[in-house]
Chain A
Amino acid sequence: MSIDISQFLDTFYEESFEGLDIMESELLNMDVGAADDEIINTIFRAAHSIKGGSGTFGLSAVADYTHIMETLLDEMRDGRRQVTQPAVEILLRSVDVLRGMLTALRESEELDSDSISASQKELNDLLNNNDAGSPATGSDVSSSNENSIIPTDDVTPDAWLIVFNPHRHMLKTGNDPVRMFRELATLGEISVESDTSLIPAFNDFEPEDSFISWKITLKGEITRQQIEEVFEWVEDDCDFVIQPIVSEQSAPASAEAVSAEPENTQEEKVETKATAAPKRAAGRKSGGESASIRVSIDKVDELINTVGELVITQSMLGQFGEEEEFTQSHIEKLRDGLAQLERNTRELQESVMRIRMLPISFTFQRFPRLVHDLSGKLGKKIELKMSGEGTELDKTVMEKIGDPLVHLVRNSIDHGIEMPAERLENGKSEMGVVHLNAYHQGGNIVIEITDDGAGLNKDRILAKAIKSGLVTEGDVLTDEQAHDLIFQPGFSTADEVSDISGRGVGMDVVRKNIRSLGGTVEVKSKAGEGSTFSIRLPLTLAILDGQLVSVGGETYIVPLVSIVESIQVKQDQVNLINGRGEVYKLRDEYIPVVRLYHMFGIEPVSETLDDGLLVVVEAEGQKIALFVDDLQGQQQVVIKSLETNFRKVEGLSGATILGDGTVALILDITGLVSLNRTSAAPDLTVITNGDVAA
């Protein structure tokens, strides 16, 4: 009996990617020189599982490649090889290559054979240097190395056809194709045909990238070596194929036969590569979110338990339906049953919600690698601090926040943190610090990216903004307004576009992405001291524990987490400041009283504090006392956004639907605190005077 193993392929990919993540983070943890055996073992095991799995599924390219990695790791494990920084770097790169291979295979796309063979070569070099590698590996590789150059034949043909396809970044390496063409022209008669089909629309066009490829025909008595010399400097930054064009008279038949075959295959390869590239880009875009979720068995067990209880409650309640007569004792039992049902429902709801919630460490875990790579590339010394990794947020939100976060972190590293020398000059420690922090605040999750770099340069921002017409000269902007300009479309603070940031995606895209999640992003910066980007995201689908309060004829919901206490006060326990600002003395604190009916413009039931209650709430370290008519029950409510069909309203964080189908608004305590600061307090002299008189 044969088993269809393809059904396990998805699991294999998922596990392999997890294995790669483990390898990556362990490699970054590895202490060079004195590597922990356990760490190497972990990495080895991950590589080994990938190799085994890929062998089972017949993915020989992956299996062969992983085999080399495994051999290398095996030697490190046995202590036959030192763990060196270059080795770690090479292994890190190979993790990337492997990830690329697996992604390509999963999406059934072309493998990027260039980078694979390059990385394979790197690994082999490392292995052979210490001549501890197995000879079998070496031969494995050369056979799979597709990039081998056509053997140089001794015949000098009449002309050469050179297909020259520079990689996009080639111009940045300082190589100029025009100069190369001139060089070629010195060898013989040259004619160049360019292929401009890959040039993107003007909006997407990066002037420093190279999109053109060329077909060069070179006539004259030239050897292959001479041509190769011209391309020597760009070998790694382009794809190029040199083919002899042999005219019938001069070419011996044998030579033609030799060159004909590789010619065809190479030509094909070049073509497929060109078409594969855009396809890959498109595929990656859509594949950003994974459709499956890994849930710990605890959460599932909890869910099963709750459902079990629900079934018991249901059967208990079901008995009542069969009763002939309904007595008082039945009603008692029915009440009990309903209470139990309510509890079961709430637990079930919580368990289901918890399945979708993941700790933000899933997003954070990619940053050590990013920081490691970037700091190496830029020659900066950067320490990455992370806190609040356990903060849970909805899976969908987490997946979408990944890219904006990466951009902001790159930005902090590239533009924020200065070079070590500059830092020392400014009296800072050589080591720059990028701090990622996450915490819950109200119904939001806040993610902060703080760096202790140079901060935003207001003058430069303003100069740029004036140049691009965002502000006119003479406009006076506060620091906040100026800093906010960096989120405008088409605004890049970098003086020149660098490889790290400023590559097409600007801060405006970051803001747009965050807004599309219903969040906000803000920047606070102090020149010379660093910047903090705060992203505030709603916990979508979140359920809130709320206290229902009534004001006038309306019902509002106060998030339970914000409530400090609820108290009944006498009018005379409240003091007036300047005849307007009411404060209540709670133990040794003076708390401003906010009359909700006034703030919301509702007809009050009573204006005297004696008739209602004060609900003391806290937000951002500040307390206010909300004057309400009465407290109703406590209830879990499903947050519904007001912005879906309306817009944000100050002082409200959303709405919910109560048991009777009516809409109740949820108070945004943070918003109320700031609203209280800005809005005028009611004139209370009349009321209090009246009170005194009475």
Chain B
Amino acid sequence: MSDMTQTIDTSDLMASGDGSHQYLTFMLAGEEYGVDILRVQEIKGWDSVTLIPNTPDYIRGVINLRGTIVPIIDMRTRFNLEQLEYGPTTVVIVLKVNNDDKSRTMGVVVDGVSDVYNMPEEDIKDSPDFGSAVDTDFVKGLATVNEKMVIVLDIDHMLSSNELTAVDSAAS
């Protein structure tokens, strides 16, 4: 599966001048989610991880990414979706997350990568308020591309250290 590893050279994908950004989308339980492509470091195939004890179950563990220890987060578990056997299309998207004045590298496990879209900032609409029924805190907005809905994620918020510790203490 290692032949699936490919590194994206982000310098070619700088945001175009018209205020639009490129988003990498991935599939998760039939829905399409998007993340800012400039945050994507690389996409690699799923490989075994080392478990970290006493952490929330959506943290699958850590991997060795060329000498750095990188935590891996299962997005299905994070969003309370039904578990799926990891298959040949299961990939890990390695993201750069900025919060607490520092930048971290984290990997997220998704069903598969989908596409790269150019989306102007104004096309991303605020997500409707579901109240407490659905946690939309880390949804930046919703966009429509080719008649399909893409959920644009705010990864800084989603993978912040607060988030990780808060959920952990709630779970324990």
Contact = CB atoms under 8 A, between A and B. Distances in A.
A463 interface: no
Interface stretch (A69-77, A438-446, A488-496, A654-662): A654-662
Contacts of B71: 645-646
A642 B69 contact: yes
A651 B54 CA distance: 9
Contacts of A647: 161, 164-165
B70 A645 contact: yes
A378 B51 CA distance: 56
Interface string A638-680: 0011101111011110010100011111000000000000000
A602 B50 CA distance: 12
A600 interface: yes
Nearest to A554: B51
A601 interface: yes
A649 B67 CA distance: 19
Nearest to A642: B69
A554 B54 contact: no
A28 interface: no
A600 B53 contact: yes
Interface string A371-408: 00000000000000000000000000000000000000
A599 interface: yes
Contact of A663 (B55, B64, B106, B161): B64
Given A647-B161, A647-B164, A663 B53 contact: no
A444 B102 CA distance: 23
B53 A640 contact: no
A433 B52 CA distance: 45
Q: Is the interface of A mostly helix, strand, loop or mixed?
A: loop
**Size class of A's contact patch?**
20 to 34
B161 A640 contact: no
B50 A664 contact: yes
Contact of B69 (A554, A644, A651): A644
Contact of A649 (B53, B70, B105, B106): B53
B53, B68, B104, B165: residue with the most chain A Cβ atoms closer than 10 Å: B53
A623 B99 CA distance: 39
A655 B67 CA distance: 11
Contact of B104 (A599, A640, A644, A657): A644
Given A642-B62, A663-B50, A665-B50, A649 B68 contact: no
Contacts of B70: 645
Contact of B52 (A599, A644, A657, A665): A665
Contacts of A664: 50
Contacts of B63: 663
Contacts, number: 68
Contact of A657 (B48, B49, B67, B164): B67
A541 to B, nearest CB: 13
Contacts of B52: 642, 646, 649, 652, 665
Nearest to B71: A646
Nearest to A552: B51
A657 B64 contact: yes
A536 to B, nearest CB: 20
A640 B68 contact: yes
Contacts of B165: 647
A393 to B, nearest CB: 23
Nearest to B100: A647
Nearest to B73: A646
A652 B50 contact: no
Contacts of B105: 645
Interface string A596-607: 000111100000
Contacts of A657: 64, 67, 69
Contact of B64 (A642, A646, A651, A661): A661
Interface in A589-625: 599-602
A309 B69 CA distance: 33
A206 B61 CA distance: 49
A573 to B, nearest CB: 27
Nearest to A660: B64
A662 B54 contact: no
Contacts of B64: 657, 661-663
A554 B68 contact: no
B50 A599 contact: no
A649 B54 CA distance: 8
A599, A602, A640: residue with the most chain B Cβ atoms closer than 10 Å: A640
Interface string A141-164: 000000000000000000000000
Contacts of B53: 599-602, 649, 651-652, 665
A516 to B, nearest CB: 9
Nearest to A553: B51
Contacts of A662: 48, 50, 64
Interface string A563-575: 0000000000000
Interface in B10-60: 48-55
Interface in B92-137: 104-106
A649 B51 contact: no
B169 to A, nearest CB: 11
B51 A602 contact: yes
B34 to A, nearest CB: 23
Contacts of B68: 640, 644-645
Given A649-B55, A651-B54, 18 more contacts: A554-B50, A554-B51, A599-B53, A600-B51, A601-B53, A640-B69, A642-B52, A642-B62, A644-B68, A645-B69, A645-B71, A645-B105, A646-B62, A646-B69, A646-B104, A646-B164, A649-B53, A663-B50
Interface of B: 48-55, 61-64, 67-71, 104-106, 161, 164-165
Interface of A: 554, 599-602, 640-642, 644-647, 649-652, 655, 657, 661-665
27 contacts: A600-B51, A601-B53, A602-B51, A602-B53, A640-B67, A640-B69, A642-B52, A642-B62, A645-B71, A645-B105, A646-B71, A646-B104, A646-B106, A646-B164, A647-B164, A649-B52, A649-B53, A651-B53, A655-B50, A655-B62, A657-B69, A662-B50, A662-B64, A663-B49, A663-B64, A663-B69, A665-B52
Closest 6 CB pairs of A and B: A600-B53, A663-B50, A646-B71, A645-B104, A655-B69, A657-B64
